[in-house]
Amino acid sequence: MEAKKIKEADNQSVKPQEKTHSGCVGIIQPVQDALYVLSGKWKLPIIISLTFGNKRFGEMSKEIPKITDRMLSKELRELEMNQLVKRTVYDSIPVVVEYSLTDYGKTLNPAIEELYKWGKAHRQRIMGKG
């Protein structure tokens, strides 16, 4: 499988000659690239689940609150295409499929960590010091 390309539409914008205004376009684009790969409700939950150890389909299905099998399957395939997740089939009987994070997938850790910290603080702020 081949890595999904970065959206064409994100390619537009800013030839080097153009004014970069305050330089913010150079920041926006990579952030949008990241969001594109992580888009949707479930990719980060799946990745997080796998940072806690390799998992089988059924385990993840139980472990990630509210995810449906369809979404799990769909998102795992996308993550695989982007080389963040690896799928290993053991030809035991019955067949067992194990998912794991690739080394590349693990490079998302610092970003996830920051989102986690912010999200935690945000929840506390909103729920009132809970």
- Give the interface with DNA as residue ranges (CB under 7 A): 39-42, 56-59, 66-71, 73, 76-77, 87, 93-97, 99
Q: Rounded distance, CA 79 to CA 43, Å?
A: 7
Which is it for the CA torsion 126, 33, 66, 87, positive or negative?
negative
DSSP character at residue 44 = H
Q: Does 102 bind a copy of itself (CB under 8 A)?
A: no
Select from a copy of itself, DNA, none the partner in contact with residue 71, using the beta carbon and a kind-dependent cut-off of 5 to 8 Å: DNA
Which tokens sit at 129? 């010091």
- C-alpha distances in angstroms, 22 versus 26, 29, 60, 65? 9, 14, 43, 41
Select from a copy of itself, DNA, none the partner in contact with residue 7, using the beta carbon and a kind-dependent cut-off of 5 to 8 Å: none
Instruction: Give me the least distance between CB of 9 and a copy of itself, in Å please.
Output: 7
Contacting residues toward a copy of itself, per CB under 8 A? 3, 5-6, 9, 12-14, 21-25, 27-35, 37, 41, 44-45, 48-49, 51-53, 62-66, 104, 107-108, 110-123, 125-127
